[in-house]
A and B are shown apart, each in its own frame.
Chain A
């Protein structure tokens, strides 16, 4: 087995625990994963509307090999299924996106959203409780005031650590269509929520009103040709955001130019290659995710078969294009039949913007090193992951003779897909969601 540290600077080690729910139901399918800005916390949302937050263990001198493992910190029900009686529509409780707010005090804040409603959650620790009330006894029963002869000041006594999550804000009734993304502004006061046709700007303090800043709904819905698939604020410029479309284009907008940002200031699109035209050209060019690089100079987009890195200064073509699983090009018809062609894969930058990662099928995920131009395919599975072993690179055989350890395209399991991944903002720790399992991989420590 080759040591692939020669190909990539990181070696990833399987987790000593794979975090998963004990019984696999539809509700347990993980629908989003996100590290917070320090990497101390990792949040996951699932189809059942629950959020589970993991916290990294403090490094311990007595157990150095358990350096920085993630354990469950808090679990709460973020969204419940709802019914819109006016339209006879059920609103799914599935968590589409979670975004953390940077930490400003002892509590943690995150935004979670389903198809229609965004909520701000406060996660705080309670390790003390007041004791010695005058009017209530320890059981909480009220005392007879006539029996009280003296007054005392309640004191705080230590208690077992309790982590509680409370919904501090509910941002609702602003979206007719399904929300696909949320993004917190670098000003830490506003955020945007995006549905198929509109982008709305909110103030974190104000829940009863939002500003619509992008509206691509045509006057006549019959003329609809594209929808918005994702939007994100620039990491440093609080007036800039980008949104991607189902037609494979990205628009960069400046909120200082006008109140309504329908006119973009930059438009990124690569012309279609006519030789690859097929029935499914429109589907595979639809962008499923857009992410700014940490340094704010690049944009990354994911469509069905590729990941592209764009330079914000160059609009007519991407800087780099990476083939994720081009061997699927010949199978688009069957992928259309089983709906896999509509899967929305996400993509993610590492902390230094030198490596990008995205998921694929058969529980494979791919990493591309932008500097060395090397790439690797890894697999998130229990069978192949022994604790503290090194992940073996995988290879898909496209035709001809299949080597040992290679897997042929026809053997790929399309029900095992990795749509959601996240990378620790500073270290080489990645979290990969494979259906209802969460894998956390860390790089090798010498």
Chain B
């Protein structure tokens, strides 16, 4: 048990490091002088290291706790499901899960707002390969297909690049997800509440900020208390209280996702969002 406890201590430290790192990446967006590439790269290394330790420990724990056959049965079940269909059974729990995953603003239960806000959160605010990777099949709907993506903006050419499950998509100019859930994530548009395309937007980042402003002012459905920070605060408070809350619901899913996540660890760790 001595080993276990020490292992758990490592895991707890890893957890707090992950939440601290997420907060740093979030804060860097609003720091004067723009996002510092060097610092964010170093923070992503800490995230990767902490996540490696955490996953390793959780793996050990899960294997000890569960029968192998049980896990396989669940895995088969999951792989049969089309990831895009999972969102159809959206309940409160799924919403929460997605919110936690993608740092989405808290929505009233059962609401189906356009995905763009949390797409932005997921792919531009969240650090590369954050829990989004882990919970990818759980995400479901439009969110699910976004959750295993990492988006980067090349400041030189203003090309937005999306990496989806290891595949590379390169789009011109800016990004916004489809409004309709379940649509192919490849098509990218900027809009302010509708789905009007605007391919001329020069900067993904700028677009995100503009969208945020517009949402704050004009979206009548928007929770007036919603802010970018509250997304991350939710995310962090969830992590701060432990992954176990999410894991208990989806421990088996997690395992499959973790395998996927681990496989793509190399690619994930190197993504720097919005650069």
Contact = CB atoms under 8 A, between A and B. Distances in A.
A90 B33 contact: yes
A87 B206 contact: yes
Contacts of B152: 221-222
Nearest to A93: B33
Nearest to A196: B37
A200 to B, nearest CB: 13
Interface in B34-70: 34, 36-39, 41-42, 45-46, 49-50, 53
A221 B154 contact: yes
Interface in A179-235: 180, 196-197, 217, 220-227, 229
Interface in A280-299: 280-283, 286
A260 to B, nearest CB: 16
A89 B150 CA distance: 22
Contacts of A286: 38, 42
Given A223-B270, A227-B38, A336-B20, A282 B32 contact: no
B163 interface: yes
B150 A86 contact: no
B267 interface: yes
A88 to B, nearest CB: 4
Contacts of A178: 33-34, 36-38
B31 to A, nearest CB: 9
A182 to B, nearest CB: 17
Contacts of A91: 33-34
B161 A221 contact: yes
A196 B41 CA distance: 11
Contacts of A90: 32-34
B240 interface: no
Contact of B155 (A177, A222, A333): A177
Contacts of A224: 41, 270, 272, 275
A229 B42 CA distance: 12
- Tell me what chain A mostly uses at the interface: helix, strand, loop, or mixed: loop
A220 B168 contact: yes
Q: How large is the interface on B (under 10, 10 to 19, 20 to 34, 35 or more residues)?
A: 35 or more
Contact of A92 (B14, B33, B38, B155): B33
Nearest to B33: A92
Most buried by B among A88, A90, A217: A88
Contacts, number: 103
Interface in A140-181: 176-178, 180
A92 B33 CA distance: 5
A377 interface: no
B207 to A, nearest CB: 10
Contact of A88 (B50, B209, B272, B275): B209
Contact of A196 (B38, B46, B205): B38
A197 B154 CA distance: 12
Nearest to A339: B24
A246 interface: yes
Contact of B161 (A177, A217, A220): A220
A176 B41 contact: no
B271 interface: yes
Interface in B156-209: 156, 161, 163, 168, 202-203, 205-206, 209
B13 interface: yes
B265 interface: no
Contacts of A217: 156
B17 interface: yes
Contacts of B202: 86-87
Nearest to A217: B156
Interface in A230-275: 246
A53 B139 CA distance: 59
A115 interface: yes
Interface in B98-131: 128
B37 A227 contact: yes
A197 B205 CA distance: 20
Nearest to B20: A337
Contacts of B49: 278-282
Contacts of B154: 221
Contacts of A221: 152, 154, 161, 271-272, 275
B46 A177 contact: no
B249 to A, nearest CB: 28
B36 A222 contact: no
Contact of B46 (A180, A220, A283): A283
Most buried by A among B33, B202, B270: B33
A279 B41 contact: no
Contacts of B39: 342
A147 B150 CA distance: 79
A136 B206 CA distance: 54
Contacts of A180: 38
Contacts of A87: 34, 155, 202-203, 205-206
Contacts of A222: 128, 150, 152, 161, 163, 168, 267, 270-272
Nearest to A229: B38
A205 B36 CA distance: 30
Closest 9 CB pairs of A and B: A92-B33, A282-B45, A89-B34, A222-B271, A88-B206, A279-B49, A196-B37, A221-B152, A283-B42
23 contacts: A86-B203, A87-B155, A91-B33, A91-B34, A115-B33, A177-B37, A177-B155, A178-B37, A221-B275, A222-B168, A222-B271, A222-B272, A223-B270, A224-B272, A227-B37, A246-B42, A278-B49, A279-B53, A280-B46, A282-B46, A282-B49, A336-B46, A337-B20
Given A86-B206, A224-B41, A337-B20, 5 more contacts: A92-B32, A222-B152, A279-B17, A282-B49, A336-B17
Interface of B: 13-14, 17, 20, 24, 32-34, 36-39, 41-42, 45-46, 49-50, 53, 128, 150, 152, 154-156, 161, 163, 168, 202-203, 205-206, 209, 267, 270-272, 275
